[in-house]
Every structure is written in C-alpha cells, then in structure tokens.
Amino acid sequence: GEDVEQSLFLSVREGDSSVINCTYTDSSSTYLYWYKQEPGAGLQLLTYIFSNMDMKQDQRLTVLLNKKDKHLSLRIADTQTGDSAIYFCADGGRSTGNQFYFGTGTSLTVIP
C-alpha cells in the first residue's frame, strides 16, 4: 500500500517561516496536495503540485517537490496565528476512483 509520512508537530514564532515536510512511497504519483484542517472543520485544499514540477508558489505558500527522493515540503512565509492548524499532505490522482492517501498530519502551532 501507499505510505505517506509526516512529522507530527511543528512550532514556530509569528512572522517566521514554517516548513512542513512529507515523504511518500509511490513513484507513480501524479499530483500531490496540501490540505489544512482547523478544529471542528473538514479539510481545506491549500495547493497542489504536479509531479513534473519541482516548485510551485502561491502567495505565502511554496511547495517544493523532490521526485527522486519522494519528498514534498510546504513552506509558509510570514506565519500568522491563523495558520495554526493541522496540515496534511496527500497523494492523489493516480487512478480513477479517487482514492487519496493522506499523511498523518502535522500540527502547526504559531507562538505570538
């Protein structure tokens, strides 16, 4: 089966950059996604990257993909207290039937 792994916790000071890391195992992955989950809510789609790209920037978010090492990261610039949440990376789009494989989630705490 597919394994997607993330570290469990990250703590940063407000205004600093946050970097959340993810590794995956399936080399046939085509699209990789980042989701954010706030308490009591579902998952909010943040951004995605196609497997033939190595970087994508979207406002304060930068996604880096190292396909050789199967490593994905999400950088949040100028982290704010409102960014405190759980962040999930997901491997999706490998086939119809839409089964996404999610990491365990990284809980980001932003210290004022």
Partner 1 sequence: KAGVTQTPRYLIKTRGQQVTLSCSPISGHRSVSWYQQTPGQGLQFLFEYFSETQRNKGNFPGRFSGRQFSNSRSEMNVSTLELGDSALYLCASSLEGGLHSPLHFGNGTRLTVT
Burial (CB count <10 Å: 0-12, 13-18, 19+), residue 28: exposed
Query: String of b and e for 55-93 (b: at least 16 CB within 10 Å)?
Result: eeeeeeebbbbeeeebebbbbbeebeeebbbbbbbbbbb
Matching residue, tokens 């993909």: 65
Structure tokens at 28: 């046939």
> How many residues are listed for the chain in this entry?
112
Position 39 contacts partner 1 (CB under 8 A): no
**What residues from 51 to 90 belong to the interface with partner 1 (CB under 8 A)?**
88, 90
CB of 102 to partner 1, least distance (A): 4
CB of 40 to partner 1, least distance (A): 7
Position 35 contacts partner 1 (CB under 8 A): yes
Choosing from 13, 50, 54, 111, the residue that interacts with partner 1 (CB under 8 A) is 50
List the alpha helices (DSSP H) in 19-109: none
CB of 87 to partner 1, least distance (A): 13
Question: Please, which residue, 52 or 59, has the CB nearer to partner 1?
Answer: 52
Position 9 contacts partner 1 (CB under 8 A): no
Applying CB under 8 A, the residues found at the interface with partner 1 are: 30-31, 33, 35, 40-45, 48, 50, 88, 90, 92-94, 96-105
